[in-house]
């Protein structure tokens, strides 16, 4: 059921268009929030991240309990987590972030085309601040 929910949300997001923040930061929208019935105290939250051409997010960490599976839906995203080398992910590619990971680079790889990703968080149900920016 959860896999079906993720597929349905991903398909809907791929068809949607979105506006960007005026300061060229990524627009972030929680698109689903579901308690996990077989894992008491945990929830799955889907977050759509939309980048304008040349857009980016400041360096950040996530909620202490968060395990994140991020999939690029459109365009290409430059990402650098911890001391790993920066990598560009294209539509259909993904990565995982674990509790305590530092996301130093998160940016649209293109100056001309938008980019979008879906980040699926498994997090303590009580967590309200999913991303803590360094700016």
Distance CA 132, CA 6 (A): 24
Tell me the HSE value of 72 on the side-chain side, using a 13 A CA sphere.
22
Quote the pLDDT of residue 69.
Answer: 97
Element (H, E) at 15: helix 2-15
Quote the pLDDT of residue 60.
Answer: 93
Find the farthest-apart pair of alpha carbons in the chain and give their distance in angstroms, rounded: 44
Residues 6+ apart with CB under 8 A from 35: 42, 43, 125
Quote the pLDDT of residue 8.
Answer: 40
Residues 6+ apart with CB under 8 A from 5: 32, 34
Which domains are seen in the chain, by residue range?
2-133 (2.60.120.10)
Walk along the chain (135 residues) and give the pLDDT tens digit of each residue.
454 444 444 444 443 434 434 468 899 999 999 999 999 999 999 999 999 999 999 999 999 999 999 999 999 999 999 999 999 999 999 999 999 999 999 999 999 999 999 999 999 999 989 998 886
Give the C-alpha distances (Å, rounded to integers) separating 37 from 1, 32, 48, 79. 11, 15, 23, 32
Quote the pLDDT of residue 135.
Answer: 66
- Tokens representing 9 are 């949300």
């Amino acid at each position: 059921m959860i896999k079906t929910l993720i597929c349905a949300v991903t398909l809907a997001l791929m068809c949607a268009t979105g506006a960007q923040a005026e300061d060229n930061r990524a627009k972030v929208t929680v698109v689903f929030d579901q308690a996990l019935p077989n894992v008491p105290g945990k929830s799955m939250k889907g977050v759509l991240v939309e980048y304008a051409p040349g857009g980016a997010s400041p360096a950040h960490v996530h909620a202490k309990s968060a395990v994140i599976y991020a999939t690029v839906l459109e365009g290409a995203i430059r990402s650098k987590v911890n001391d790993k080398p920066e990598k560009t992910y294209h539509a259909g590619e993904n990565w995982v972030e674990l509790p305590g990971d530092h996301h130093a680079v998160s940016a649209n790889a293109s100056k001309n085309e938008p980019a979008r990703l879906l980040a699926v968080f498994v997090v303590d149900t009580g967590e309200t601040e999913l991303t803590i920016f360094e700016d």
